[in-house]
Amino acid sequence: MTPWICATCCVEFSPSLNPPARCPICEDERQYVGAGGQRWTSMSELGQSHTNQWVEIEPCLTGIGVNPSTGIGQRALLVQTDKGNVLWDCTPLITAETIAQIKSLGGVVAMTMSHPHFYAAMVSWSQALGGVPILLPEADKDHVMRPDPAITYWQGDALTIVPGVRAVRCGGHFAGSTVLHWAAGAGGDGILLTGDTIQVVPDAGWLSFMRSYPNLIPLPGHVVRQIAATVAPLEFDRLYGGWWDKFLLQGAHAAVQRSADRYVKALD
Ligand SMILES: [Zn+2]
Ligand SMILES: [Zn+2]
């Protein structure tokens, strides 16, 4: 039995003898099945051609990606706190070296994800780290392709993962699209980890919001307003999106509000 991984979105499915017939994550209008049709891989196959990339981004924040990039380029972030480390987002590849590196930093007390496109091999990661709980918003339960007892669904608008680290549900791209607020990050100015709930764009100091990024489907103005209003009470100056080159080192709080205004104005 193999926990097959969709080659396009890199989401891992419940173990089966043969690959699943289809990938509901990719068939959804927010993703896509490539022109070549549905393709499957597995972690053992990925491990033959890929390695993990380990990047210390700033004190107590480490990025873990797959090299060369695969799927949609998923990258996880490890937030280290003295109350325990949190793994934000996930990747499709686990190596013994990465697990040893994480354990040398004290392991992980909880995993949580921005949205289903970053679920990747979360259940395998949980198992490799010793049965770490995976905390997901109930709103995205239908998008879980590998249900597991390690997954706990939370309801409501926010959940404290460890003291000082809080998952805040914004909605938008997915009903359960979440950001992670890390109060002590950036030397105490606060950091927001956003996946693509809030997307960093090339225009310096600006951000955006979409229902689908690959298919360029925008969000309604009232939803963009809701995302901006949800993060407005949070204190943060720095923002890291879901990819290596997507970050805003300062002024991120004002940038979210400014960018939401620009977006809604453009829709009008
Ligand atoms: Zn897929
Ligand atoms: Zn996405």
pLDDT in tens, 146-161: 999 999 999 999 999 9
For ligand 1, the distance from its centroid to the CA atom of residue 144, given in whole angstroms, is 12
**pLDDT band at 216, cuts 50/70/90?**
very high
> Would you kindly state where each structural domain of the chain is located, as residue ranges?
5-267
List pLDDT tens digits, range 66-115. 999 999 999 999 999 999 999 999 999 999 999 999 999 999 999 999 99
Q: Whole-angstrom Cα distance, residue 70 to residue 120? A: 11
Q: Summarize the chain as % helix, strand, coil (round to 5).
A: 25, 30, 45
Is the distance from CB of 157 to CB of 230 less than 8 angstroms?
yes
Q: Which ligand is nearest to the CA of 7?
A: 1
Please list the residues that pair with 165 across neighbouring strands.
162, 182
| Helix or strand run (H / E) with residue 262 | helix 252-267
Is the distance from CB of 135 to CB of 87 less than 8 angstroms?
no
CATH superfamily membership of 5-267: Ribonuclease Z/Hydroxyacylglutathione hydrolase-like (3.60.15.10)
Q: Which ligand is nearest to the CA of 74?
A: 2
For ligand 1, the distance from its centroid to the CA atom of residue 183, given in whole angstroms, is 34
List pLDDT tens digits, range 7-53. 999 999 999 999 999 999 999 999 999 889 999 999 999 999 999 99
DSSP code for 173: S
Query: Looking at the predicted structure, is the pLDDT value of residue 228 above 90?
Result: yes
For ligand 2, the distance from its centroid to the CA atom of residue 117, given in whole angstroms, is 5
Q: Whole-angstrom Cα distance, residue 107 to residue 132? A: 9
Query: In degrees rounded to 5, what are phi and psi of residue 222?
Result: -65, -25
For ligand 2, the distance from its centroid to the CA atom of residue 104, given in whole angstroms, is 31
